[in-house]
Amino acid sequence: MGAIRAVSSEEFDDSRFEQSRLRMVQEQLLTRGIADERVLAAMRRVPRHLFVDEMARPAAYEDEPLPIGSGQTISQPYMVARMTELLELESDSRVLEVGTGSGYQAAVLAEIAGEVWTVERHGALAERARRVLARLGHRNVHVETGDGSLGLPHHSPFDAIVVTAASPGVPPSLTDQLAPGGRLVIPVGGQGTQRLRLIRRDPNGLQETDVLGCRFVPLIGAHGHPSGEVRRLRVLVEGRVQGVWFRESTREEAERRGVRGWVRNLADGRVEAVFEGEPAGVDALVRWVRRGPERALVTEVTVSSEAPQGEQGFRVTG
């Protein structure tokens, strides 16, 4: 007679969830035409139940999106599979995901690709995703907080970019960060339903294909939908910062992030600026100012908050 081994409740749960996961792949993905074996294998492996709240775990492998806090959702398994398949990933692909959410899709991407960067605008979601991904040992995923509609220019070019929130259009900031032959998958449309689009950079330019109807939470940011929130910050910068290049670089960085306001030199050697716009864009610009452009030496930055005044454009005033 074989020995009887006690099974812990965690092991019991793991095997129950594994059965649900295999059923999910069989019933929701294979029968709907997902054929890329690497995507199917990744989704058989990634424990989706660990990316949702404990309360939502019993529904983790159902055919639906689920709430993950901060008013956001983890996408339906089929949508994760379809978007990943469209990216045509290889084991050495460099991938950008905009909209980390729970981190689940990032884990699926990381199972297949070489290196994954993922950006989330909600700090609390980014932090939780970082923890779960680290616990699962995904060392090739880098979670950043900020406005992903701007992409991540210093890590570009990317072989594949996936946006998991609905954008009003195809942001040039993202197509500019595609490597030759690179693929961008993005839901485009308003706040109701959208169309999933595949954009490929080939030698003749960008080729766009309409894929299917979908429903995503909005992409909020400089190249997405407005959040309705406006932040205005006054910034005083000390150090070796006066000179045309500091003000001009600030203007370029502001325009790239869709931030409005102005910048000028003060008689005492400091630079003063006002930044107004989407909070994520304004905060990112303040982070940039703390480093300054190459050759500048920023020693101190003082930031104070003010009521928005409806700035238009960005000016270098003196």
Of the listed 8, 70, 75, 173, which one is catalytic? 75
d(CA 124, CA 139): 20
**Residue closer to ligand SAM (CB basis): 226 or 239:** 226
Report the Cα 13 to chain-centroid distance in Å.
31
Q: Tell me whether residue 75 is one of the annotated catalytic residues.
A: yes
Among 119, 185, 188, 296, binds ligand SAM (CB under 6 A): 119
**Smallest gap from residue 27 Cβ to ligand SAM (A):** 20
Contact call for residue 121 and ligand SAM (CB under 6 A)? yes
Cα separation, 249 vs 294, in Å, equals: 10
Residue 287 Cβ vs ligand SAM, minimum distance, rounded to whole Å: 15
Pick the binder of ligand SAM from 17, 78, 158, 216 (CB under 6 A): 216
By CB under 6 A, tell whether 98 contacts ligand SAM.
yes
Piece of the chain touching ligand SAM by CB under 6 A; list 29-37, 84-92, 132-140, 217-225:
217-225
Q: Is 283 in the site for ligand SAM (CB under 6 A)?
A: no
Interface with ligand SAM, residue 84, by CB under 6 A: no
Q: Is 96 in the site for ligand SAM (CB under 6 A)?
A: no
Whose Cβ is closer to ligand SAM: residue 149's or residue 175's? 149
Q: Which of 24, 46, 72, 277 binds ligand SAM (CB under 6 A)?
A: 72
- Contact region with ligand SAM (CB under 6 A), list: 53-61, 69-77, 202-210, 257-265: 69-77
Q: How many residues bind ligand SAM (CB under 6 A)?
A: 26
Q: Does 221 bind ligand SAM (CB under 6 A)?
A: yes
Q: Among 50, 109, 116, 125, indicate the residue that binds ligand SAM (CB under 6 A).
A: 125
Closer to ligand SAM by Cβ: residue 214 or 233: 214
Active site residue ranges: 75
